[in-house]
Amino acid sequence: MASSRSVRVERNRLRFAAAHMATFAGDCEPLHGHNYDVLVEVEGDLTDESWVIDFGLIKRVAREICERLDHRFLLQRDSRLLQSEERDGAWLVRFGEDRCYQFPSQDVLPLPIDNSTAERLAEWFHGELAAGLGTVSITNIRRMSIGIEEMPGQTGWYEAPLR
Q: Is 100 a catalytic residue?
A: no
Looking at residue 28, the DSSP 8-state letter turns out to be E
Selected catalytic residue, list 29, 67, 71, 100? 71
Q: Is 49 a catalytic residue?
A: no
Identify each DSSP E strand in the chain by its residue range. 5-20, 23-24, 27-28, 32-44, 72-76, 82-87, 90-95, 99-104, 108-111, 141-151, 154-161
Selected catalytic residue, list 10, 28, 86, 128? 28
Query: Which residue from 102, 163, 101 is spatially nearest to 138, judged by alpha carbons?
Result: 163
C-alpha–C-alpha distance, residues 86 and 94, integer Å: 12
Query: Which residue from 24, 22, 38, 9 is spatially nearest to 150, judged by alpha carbons?
Result: 38
Q: Is 66 a catalytic residue?
A: no
What residue type is assigned to position 54 of the chain? Answer: D
Backbone angles phi, psi at 153, to 5 degrees: 85, 5
Q: Quote the Cα angle for 76-97-85, to 5°.
A: 40
Which residues form the catalytic set? 28, 71, 150
